[in-house]
């Protein structure tokens, strides 16, 4: 193991037998320049716009986000605009991205900032992580891409590069081993360009070699969507958005028909009630009289 120093002088072991830190950084920068993707949310200084892109990109492909980010920003151009928007408008605009909880968490984060911080996002990693739905990677992404400030931005494409280049023969590599290396390579003066290079190189690697991120200790195969509870939730949200005020009985009939049309068994009443009750508790819907509204 070679020892490198993190920002602030903290020592960290560099993997033996791997490219040196200098060679690794040079390779990533060269590959990043060669593979650079000119995406609309890049090279902008608006933390809110960057946050929207980071939340949309969680578990969602870039090609799909490209279809939604611009429309979202046109409808909700500022943090305050999203905070003031109705839940139904927010969920309707999110349709097609999946994982609807992300939209609600994003709105709640903006509501907090609108009420407490004058319509601005916090300017520290810790402040960002105190908001709903914002974890360490999302906070680091906002800091790096909107403010060009260093941090440990460890997401799947970044993880892919470090595993491919520095741990080619190991499985179950934990993030606690990767995080010091990510910190050790992130420059103090140009975190934005550095992480763009890692993202673009990592995306390329996943298209040409067996996905190295599967060798992470944290890799989990995504469960099937078809027929899942997640799909049933998404269908219920879609129907309620399309027909505000729909009653439970009619909604249950629609979900049952949706399942049977796909060749699956119908949905029993207990499962349906459980899903709807969860959606109400999570803030997706409210019951008004005999109907459901977002």
Q: How far apart are CA 284 and CA 244, in angstroms?
A: 12
In whole angstroms, what is the distance from residue 159 CA to residue 289 CA?
A: 49
- What is the helix (H) or strand (E) element at residue 287, kind and residue range? strand 286-288
Q: Which residues are CB-contacts of 137 (< 8 A; sequence separation ≥ 6)? A: 153, 154, 155
Structure token digits, residue 278: 């969860």
Q: Out of 54, 111, 155, 165, which one is annotated catalytic? A: 54
Task: Respond yes or no: is residue 54 known to be catalytic.
Answer: yes
Measured CA to CA, the distance from residue 39 to residue 188 in angstroms comes to 23
Encoding tokens for residue 213?
A: 């991120």
Sorted by sequence, the CB contacts under 8 Å of residue 35 that are 6+ apart come out as 200, 201, 203, 204
Q: Which pairing describes strands 2-5 and 11-14: parallel, antiparallel, or unpaired?
A: antiparallel
List the catalytic residues: 54
């Amino acid at each position: 193991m070679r020892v490198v120093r993190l920002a602030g002088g903290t020592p960290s072991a560099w993997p033996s037998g791997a490219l040196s830190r200098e060679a690794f950084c040079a390779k990533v920068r060269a590959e990043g320049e060669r593979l650079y993707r000119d995406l609309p949310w890049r090279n902008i200084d608006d933390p809110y716009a960057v946050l929207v892109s980071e939340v949309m990109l969680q578990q969602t492909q870039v090609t799909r986000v490209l279809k939604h980010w611009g429309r979202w920003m046109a409808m909700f151009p500022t943090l305050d605009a999203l905070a003031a928007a109705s839940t139904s408008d927010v969920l309707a605009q999110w349709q097609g991205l999946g994982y609807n909880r992300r939209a609600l968490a994003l709105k709640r984060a903006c509501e907090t900032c609108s009420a407490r911080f004058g319509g601005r996002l916090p300017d520290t990693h810790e402040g960002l992580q105190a908001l709903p739905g914002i974890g360490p990677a999302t906070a680091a992404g906002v800091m790096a891409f909107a403010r060009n400030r260093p941090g440990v931005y460890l997401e799947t494409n970044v993880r892919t590069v470090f595993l491919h280049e520095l741990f080619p023969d190991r499985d179950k590599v934990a993030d606690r081993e990767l995080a010091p290396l990510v910190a050790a390579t992130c420059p103090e003066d140009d975190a934005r360009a550095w992480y763009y290079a890692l993202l673009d190189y990592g995306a390329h690697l996943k298209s040409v070699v067996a996905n190295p991120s599967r060798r992470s200790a944290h890799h989990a195969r995504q469960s099937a969507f078809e027929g899942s509870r997640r799909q049933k939730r998404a269908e219920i949200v879609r129907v309620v958005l399309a027909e505000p005020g729909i009653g439970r009985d009619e909604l249950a009939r629609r979900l049952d028909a949706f399942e049977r049309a796909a060749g699956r068994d119908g949905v029993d009443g207990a499962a349906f009630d459980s899903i709807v009750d969860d959606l109400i508790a999570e803030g997706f819907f409210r019951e008004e009289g005999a109907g459901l509204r977002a």
